[in-house]
Structures are given as C-alpha cells and as structure tokens.
Structure 1
Amino acid sequence: MAGTTASAAASLPRGAGQRVLVVDDDPRMAELLETTLHLAGYTVATADRGAEALRAHATASPEAPDLLILDVMLPDMDGFTVCRMLAERGARVPTLLLTARDGIEDRVTGLALGADDYLTKPFSIPELLARVHALLRRAGRPGEPDRVLRFADLTLDEGSLRVRRAGRLISLSPTEWKLLHYLMLNADQVVSKDQIVDRVWHGPFDHSVVEKLVSRLRAKVDAQPPALIHTIRGFGYSLRLPAGQ
C-alpha cells in the first residue's frame, strides 16, 4: 500500500467508531489495514477466512460490522463466493473488494455478485479511506461530515463540490471534478492513464480521451502558477508542486 503526504493526511475523511471487518489472509496487509483504519477513527476486527465473514452476519448482532473489506483470494473460498452467499442471505453490508487482479472481468464479477466497490492492490491510504467513507455514507452510517481536500492553494469541497485555487472558484464538469478528486486523493503519487480510465469512467476508453480530459483540467487548475498537474512521461500524471517548491 502506498503512503501519503502530510498535506494529504490532514484532510483524510475520518470515522466515528463504525465497525469494519477486514478479511485478508496476508498478516502484513491485515495488520496495516487494521492500524490505518483504527487511526482513522474506526473500530476494526480482522479475519483470515471467508467463513468468518459469513459468521459475522449469521445473526442480527449489534456487533455485526458496518462495512466489510474483503480480499478476493482467500484460503477457504474466494471473495466472490462470500459476496454471493451474503447476497443470498439478504445481508446488506457495504463490501469493498481488494484484488491483485487488474482484469475488468474480475471487477465486473465482484460488483455483479454484490460487492459495492473494489480497490486494486497496491492502493493508496487516502483512496482507501475515501472509499470507506463514501460506502458508509451511502449506507446511512456516516462518520465525519464531508471534508475539504487541500493541496497547496487548491481546495476541493466534497460536500458542495466547489473547487477553488487561491480562493478563486473554478468551474468544472462532473468528469473533470472526478479526475481532480482522484488526483488529490493520490497527491504526490503518479497515476497511469489506465488507472484514470478505471477510476473516473469505470469502463474502457481510449488513452486519447484521458489526454484531452487532463488538458482541459490543467487549463483550468493551472491557469495561474505554479503548475500542479504534471505529466510524468511514460508513466502518467501527478498532482505535485514543481521541484524546489
């Protein structure tokens, strides 16, 4: 899992004690997720088998998790099977799938079987927390109110959808807003064109479409210096301050 910068960490969405069950048979990943979510304000339990996720929803216990973070590859049954069995039981728990697979078919399968969202490993801490926050909010179990993401003199308000640069309001289309939101969640990291297609459109698009979208967004966000949206040739794009600033 990638790290995060101090500027991004200050504006990460936080929980309010909601119960999260992490199901992953990799002890290091489970420990990292448990620590990260605990520090973000969630109550976290871990398991290493799909059967434990099913048992957690066997009864209407007040201790049942509010959110399930489920690895696809588990030793007893895969995450797809867990999603299917939970759906058959009528369990309505928001589920975030973690997968090392990068194929569209696997992601579509998970969503079709009842998962609410997915993340492909490796992923960044800001994106993980943003997705957890969004899933709980949609399920009616919100934590802190929508937050304002900040990077340098750029702000993005998740509640009002307003974007400002040095106090100046910037008008963005919905797709431009989603791209900027994704870049801000991954500030100082490099995101590829494939990742942008995956996160912004959730479907197949030609890379030229990404290039045009980035160009439009850059014209609006970087209308005044310093430039924040940078092309990393051969890799993708990054929201970062120029070298030396």
Structure 2
Amino acid sequence: MKLLLAEDEPKVANAVKAGLEEQGMEVTVAFDGKMAEKYFDRDSFDCIILDINLPYTNGLDLCKQFRNRNKKVPIILLTALGELEDKMEGFSAGADDYLVKPFHLQELLARIHVIVKRSSGVDQPQNMMEVGDLVLDLDAKSVKRAGKLIKLTQKEFLLLEALAKARGRVLSKADLAEKVWALDFDTGTNTVEVYINFLRNKIDKLHPTKLIHTRTGFGYYLKEES
C-alpha cells in the first residue's frame, strides 16, 4: 500500500512513517504543502494523510485541491483541533476520516485499512480480489503488491487469477493447465512449473511473506500464511 503523509513535525512524521513501514506500507513524507502538491502531481497513492497546520498550503486547502482532482483517493486529516465544527470543516473539505492528535499508531492503521478497503470496493467490488497485500483488478487486468504495480503477461495473470479465485484451495497442475491454457494436462510438460516460477519471481521474490505455495504431490495454492 502506497501512502502520502504530509506532516510538518519531523519527529511525528518519522515516527508515523517508521510505524507504517513496519506494516509493509510504502510511505512518502512531505513536510509542507508545496512538497505534498509536488508528490501528488508526480505519483499515485492508495491513501493520503494530511496534517491541517502545514506551511505554505494548509491541510484543508490541500484536501479540497486533491479531492477536486481525484474523487476516489482516501484522505485522512490529522489535527490537534477536536471540536465538532473543526471536524465538520474537514469533512466538508472532502476528507474521509479525521484523527485528533495525539493518537495511537494502531488506530491510524485501522482507519487506513477501513477507508482504503471501502474506497477500493466502491465501483465493482466483485472484480477486485485481495490476498494479503496483493490486489488483483480483474477488469483492468492489473496486479499490485504493497501498492506497487506488477507487470504480468496474459498467461501469468490468468494463472494468478485462477489461484486467487480458488481462495486458498490447492489446484493441481491439471486444473491450472485447463483454466489457463484450455488444454488437457500433459504429464511430460513442465509449463505450469515454469509459469509458477515466473509468478514467484514477480510476486514473492522481494517480499518476506510468500503468497504462492506448493503442496508437494498435489499442486499449488495462493494464501497469506502466518
């Protein structure tokens, strides 16, 4: 998951960044409104966290600006102001959630997960699949892990889709050959193994938590295991 954090207090920003990165998130920090605008212009984010009291352009104005340019990206406002009218002003600016300082990191994490999941499921939730931090968009034929886009070939995507739709069940080589290549399984070919290795190199290689697993003598499955 890719986040933009706009916070002008370095100690707070660094502590939040470190805590979120421990959870596998990728965090870009902006220490003022101008930096936040620059990062927003050049990249896309799964969630934006804005402190209200930012130099140059404050968080409320940034929130309005970002919301006008992107109707779907989740935005959380951070502030020391906890009065009802302050919260209403934040929601009116286009924020999805509002967190009053000081806060616990676990509360921020919970709110991030809730609004990102809610946002990603607005249009066609049945066409989005998640396995841990892996997200498949079945309409766009795109795959992201930890917020980063992964380029797959058509067959690689079909193979990953078949594993994802099995929801943790083991699929044999014959099952996968039929679903992906529409062929009867030939025991003399290693096509399935080769493509599983292609997927592992792209999906799992750079991550400590592996999602693609082998059940020796049976087949393969896709699951986040503790």
TM-score (normalizing by structure 1): 0.48
Query: How far apart are the structure 1 equivalents of 2:34 and 2:76?
Result: 17
Q: Tell me how far apart the structure 1 counterparts of residues 15 and 72 of structure 2 sit (CA, whole Å).
A: 26
- Aligned pairs for 1:1-245 (under 5 A) are 18-58=1-41, 63-140=43-120, 144=132
Q: Please report how far the alpha carbon of residue 75 of structure 1 lies from its aligned counterpart in structure 2 after TM superposition.
A: 1.0
SS in structure 2 opposite 1:44? strand
SS of 2:50's partner is strand
| 1:78 Cα deviation after fit | 1.4
Alignment check: 8 A CA contact 2:16 2:105 kept: no
Alignment size in residue pairs = 125
Contact 1:50-1:79 at 8 Å conserved across structures: yes
- Aligned partners of 1:101 and 1:112: how far apart in 2? 15
Contact 2:77 2:95 in 1 (8 A): yes
Instruction: Indicate the residue corresponding to 2:175 in structure 1.
Output: none
Q: Residues of 2 paired with 1:45 and 1:134: CA distance?
A: 20
Q: Distance in 1 between matches of 2:66 and 2:21?
A: 25
1:219 aligned residue: none
CA RMSD in angstroms comes to 1.9
Q: Deviations over 1:83-109 (max 9, x none)?
A: 111223245321110000111111111
Match of 1:28, as an amino acid? Answer: K
2:53–2:79 Cα contact (<8 Å) kept: yes
Instruction: Deviation per CA, 1:9-58: give whole Å up to 9, x if none.
Output: xxxxxxxxx10111001000000110000001101110111222223333
Shift of 1:144: 3.6
- Please identify the structure whose Cα radius of gyration is greater: 2
Identity value in percent = 35
SS at match of 2:60: helix
Give the AA of the match of 1:124: H
Q: Which runs of 5+ in 1 are unaligned?
A: 1-17, 146-245
* Distance verdict in 2 for CA 1:82–1:143, change over 3 Å: farther
One-letter amino acid matched to 2:28 = A
SS of corresponding position for 1:58: helix
Higher helix share: 2
CA distance in 1, matches of 2:114, 2:18: 20
Residue by residue over 1:125-144, the C-alpha shift from the partner in whole angstroms, topping out at 9 and shown as x without a partner, is 22111001111111218674
Give the letter for the 1:84 counterpart: K
CA distance in 2, matches of 1:24, 1:143: 31
